[in-house]
Every structure is written in structure tokens, then in C-alpha cells.
A and B are shown apart, each in its own frame.
Chain A
């Protein structure tokens, strides 16, 4: 059974760093891309970026370029999303999702989401 299990909710202060995770199981981790998606409270879905764990090929949405870092560790089948200096505006639910190939395949499995709260 394919599963994407995300790390738990986080409460942080502005300026702090954070790394959240998405652990994959039930499929070959290096055969699928992983996407990160942000959902602000009460708002829609926004694409953050994607990574291909096989070769760590990473692409970012222009809106998030330079604001976050996406990485993956093949040895533990896990993708990561990290911030060096959080802002209150980063408060949101973050989802990971997998897909097979850009432009063609959908995000067919999603993690349960990680709620990030940034508040002083």
C-alpha cells in the first residue's frame, strides 16, 4: 500500500528554522517525483516545488524560490521541506504528494499534511 506519512504539527517563532518530512512507503521511492503544496488557512492549493529523489533534480515555484529548500534522502525514502528563517506568513498546512511524470500524471497519493504555525 502506497503511503506518504508526514511529520507532526510544528509551532515556531519568527526567525526560527524548520525542516518537515514526508516518508514514503509501498513503492519505489526513486521512481516518482515528490511535490510540496501549501494551503494557507481557508485558502486554495499552491505549488511549492518538486523533487525527483533518483537524482535530486529539484524545481521551485517562482513564488517560493529562495524561500524554502526541498531535499530528499533515498536511504530513508524521505523528502524534506525546510526554512532557514520562518515568517508569520509561512503559517499554513503543507502537503507532500507523489506523481510519476511531469505534464502527464496527477498527484495520485498525498500525505496527511503538516500544520506549521509561526507566531511570536
Chain B
């Protein structure tokens, strides 16, 4: 079965740029979405179709997808960006795949 691999944790200083990767075989051939989840809350989509931002999502969130790796980039990271981030793609037309999640810590 298809797998998406994320680093378990990423740390960043306030104001710096955080990058969270998501790896999968030929991932560039699939659309990748990214979700943000605060403890005790439902996930929220922050990037879809590799690099599109839903309305209301700050411009400091951006995405890319090339080769076997998709990357979520958070520029000017704020303390409020702490939480869990998940990538998601479709294995086939019917199988959803989530990455294992990355805990972002803003030190």
C-alpha cells in the first residue's frame, strides 16, 4: 500500500521559516493537501492541490511538490502555528492516504 512519510517533529524559532516534508513514491504525480490540527480540535486544510491556499489561510503558508517530496513551508513562523501537521494524498481514485503527522514546536 502507498505510504506518506513525515518527520515526527520539527522545531523552529519565532519569525524563522519552518519546512515540513512529506515523502512518497512519485508523489509529484499526485495532488497533496496539508492539514493543521491543534490539540482538541478538528483538522483544518491549509494547502490543497500542492500549493493552493484556501481563503482565510495566511500567505505565510505555502506548498510545493516535486519528485518524491512535498514540502509545507511556513514563513515568519508564529507561536500560534504550533500544532500537528498532516499531509494527504490519494493512493488510487478511492484510497486516501495520510502522512503520520509532524509536531511543530516554536521555541
Is A45 in contact with B98, judged by CB distance below 8 angstroms?
yes
Q: Contact size class for A?
A: 20 to 34
Question: Is A50 positioned at the interface, with any CB of B under 8 Å from its CB?
Answer: yes
A112 to B43 CA separation, bound complex (whole angstroms) = 9
A61 to B98 CA separation, bound complex (whole angstroms) = 12
Chain B, 18-50, CB within 8 A of any chain A CB: 30-31, 33, 35, 37, 42-45, 48-49
Residues of B within 8 A of A45 (CB): 35, 37, 43, 86, 88, 98, 101
Which of these, B35, B54, B94, B98, contacts A46 with CB under 8 Å?
B98
Question: Is A66 positioned at the interface, with any CB of B under 8 Å from its CB?
Answer: no
Is A108 in contact with B54, judged by CB distance below 8 angstroms?
yes
Is A107 in contact with B98, judged by CB distance below 8 angstroms?
no
Which of these, A44, A102, A106, A112, contacts B33 with CB under 8 Å?
A106
- Point out residues on B near A: beta carbons under 8 Å: 1, 30-31, 33, 35, 37, 42-45, 48-49, 54, 84, 86, 88, 90, 93-101
